[in-house]
Structure 1
Amino acid sequence: MQEMTLETMIAVLEEIFGTGLFWSMVAAAALVTAAYLYVLVRDRAMSMRKFLFAQLSMPFGAVAAVLFVLQVTHSSLADIGGPVDAALLLGVAVAGAIGTAILVYTAQSLVRRP
């Protein structure tokens, strides 16, 4: 891998997760993002109550994302080899936390109108 391109990253992620699972996750992320943007435009304001509940769900999303990646890659926490692995798992946790907050806020807003 001489240079890091978008095509290279897609190929690596397809290899890690499998083609079907990877593109399913991309489609789910696009769907949730579109729904979130719809909710923001529709409501024209953020509900702080819904936002608080979304923030409280973030730790669960972080743990779930790390466990998901460990399960898919057939790894365990004992396989962490150094600071790069720890930083990668921290990045996965942060992405899972943010994604869960967006998902929870969007789901609340779609179920309960303002």
Structure 2
Amino acid sequence: MKDMTFGTILAVFEETFGIGLFWTMVAVAALVTIAYVYVLIRDHSISWRKFLLAQLSMPVGAILAIWFVLVMTSSKLTDLGGPVDIIVVLGIAVAGAIGTAILVYTIQSLIRPRQ
């Protein structure tokens, strides 16, 4: 793989997760993002109580993201081979944590709108 293009990365993700699951994840991420932007526009501010609860869910999201990728790739943590693998796993954990925080905040705001 000489060239790292968007098409190459897309093909790798489709091969790793399967076409159906990958595009389902993309669609869900897009819907959650749209709902989050809607909540921010509707409320005109961030609720710090909801934000705190969303932050408390971040470690769970990080662990679940790492677990999901390990299951999908049929890998174990003992398969990590070097610094690049550690960086990738940490990136997965960060993405899972941030995604979970956004999801939790959005769900809270949609269930209990600002007074």
Q: Which residue of 1 aligns with 2:110?
A: 110
Query: Given the alignment of the two structures, is residue 44 of structure 1 paired with residue 40 of structure 2, yes or no?
Result: no
Paired residue total: 114
Q: Which residue of 1 aligns with 2:57?
A: 57
Q: Which residue of 1 aligns with 2:78?
A: 78
Can you list the C-alpha shifts for 1:19-78, whole angstroms capped at 9, x where unaligned?
Answer: 011001000000000000000000000000000000000000000000000000000001
**Paired residue secondary structure (2:29):** helix
- Give me the TM-score of the superposition, normalised by structure 2: 0.98
**Paired residue secondary structure (1:46):** coil
Can you list the C-alpha shifts for 1:63-95, whole angstroms capped at 9, x where unaligned?
Answer: 000000000000000100111111100000000
Cα distance in 1 for residues equivalent to 2:86 and 2:20:
27
Query: Given the alignment of the two structures, is residue 24 of structure 1 paired with residue 24 of structure 2, yes or no?
Result: yes
**What is the letter of the counterpart of residue 50 of structure 1?**
K
Unaligned runs of 5+ residues in structure 1 are none
Q: Which residue of 2 aligns with 1:95?
A: 95
Cα distance in 2 for residues equivalent to 1:102 and 1:9:
25
Structure 1 residue 2, shift from structure 2 partner: 1.6
Cα distance in 2 for residues equivalent to 1:103 and 1:66:
17
Cα distance in 1 for residues equivalent to 2:44 and 2:4:
39
Cα distance in 2 for residues equivalent to 1:16 and 1:83:
21
Structure 1 residue 3, shift from structure 2 partner: 1.0
**What is the letter of the counterpart of residue 39 of structure 1?**
V
**4+ runs deviating over 2 angstroms:** none
